[in-house]
Structure 1
Amino acid sequence: MEIKVLNKQSILDIAIQHTGDVQNCFDIAIANGMAVSDLLTTGKALSVSDITNAKADVLQYYQSKNIKPATGTTLSEERQVPSLKGIGYMQLENSFKVS
């Protein structure tokens, strides 16, 4: 089965939505030549077939409630790292001098 990635979905979201088990993210990643940590783009086609260890009860729940998880981030969100300040974020010998 081929599916289209929704906005802000990760491979983990795809696995739980289409197989009922988040551990299937590894099989999905391998089948699509990706890493589990790869960021997905909206509309990308992914193959989610030949998953033998699907959890029918979880899958049925997600389908009956029309749940489509989208917990991923986008590249633009990842680049927006706030400027962290204070002793908890200082590096020894770089921004924090010990005398």
Structure 2
Amino acid sequence: MEVKVKDRQSLLDMAVQTAGSMEAAFGLAAANGVSLTDTLTDGQVLDTVAAENADTVRRYSVQGIQPATALSEEEMAALAQEGINFMGIEIDFVVS
């Protein structure tokens, strides 16, 4: 079966939605020739894998839940200037 990716959905989102568990992301990645960390595009079609938790899949389907937890381009840009690589000693990073 195939499923279309919605905006800001990650492979982990798709694994939970279509197979009922995050562990299914490994099989989903292998089945589609992508990495766990690849950015999926809106409208991209993925082959699904066997459901590991049918109750979760059914609940998501009935309630129309389509998780989308990937960061947007704006959110990624905002994060780019943070962290240890961007700190100046005695400016942002105080040594005591």
- Report the TM-score, using the length of structure 2 for normalisation: 0.78
**Unmatched 5+ residue regions in structure 1?**
none
Question: Residue 57 of structure 1 aligns with which residue?
Answer: 55
Mark the CA change 1:57 to 1:38 in structure 2 (over 3 Å): closer, same or farther. Answer: same
Identity among equivalent pairs (%)? 36
Larger relative helix fraction? 2
Cα shift at 1:76: 4.5
Which of these residues, 66, 69, 86, is aligned with residue 67 of structure 2? 69
Q: Which runs of 4+ in 1 moved over 6 A?
A: none
Indicate whether 1:46 and 2:46 are aligned: yes
Tell me if structure 2 keeps the 8 A contact 1:2–1:46: yes
Cα shift at 1:81: 2.8
Bigger Rg, which one: 1
Q: Pairwise mapping of residues 8-23 of structure 1 onto structure 2 (< 5 A)?
A: 8-23=8-23
Cα shift at 1:59: 1.1
Cα shift at 1:96: 2.0
1:67 counterpart letter in structure 2: I
- Report the TM-score, using the length of structure 1 for normalisation: 0.76
How many residue pairs get aligned? The number is 90
Question: Residue 4 of structure 1 aligns with which residue?
Answer: 4
Cα shift at 1:83: 4.1
Aligned-residue RMSD, C-alpha:
2.5
**Unmatched 5+ residue regions in structure 2?**
none
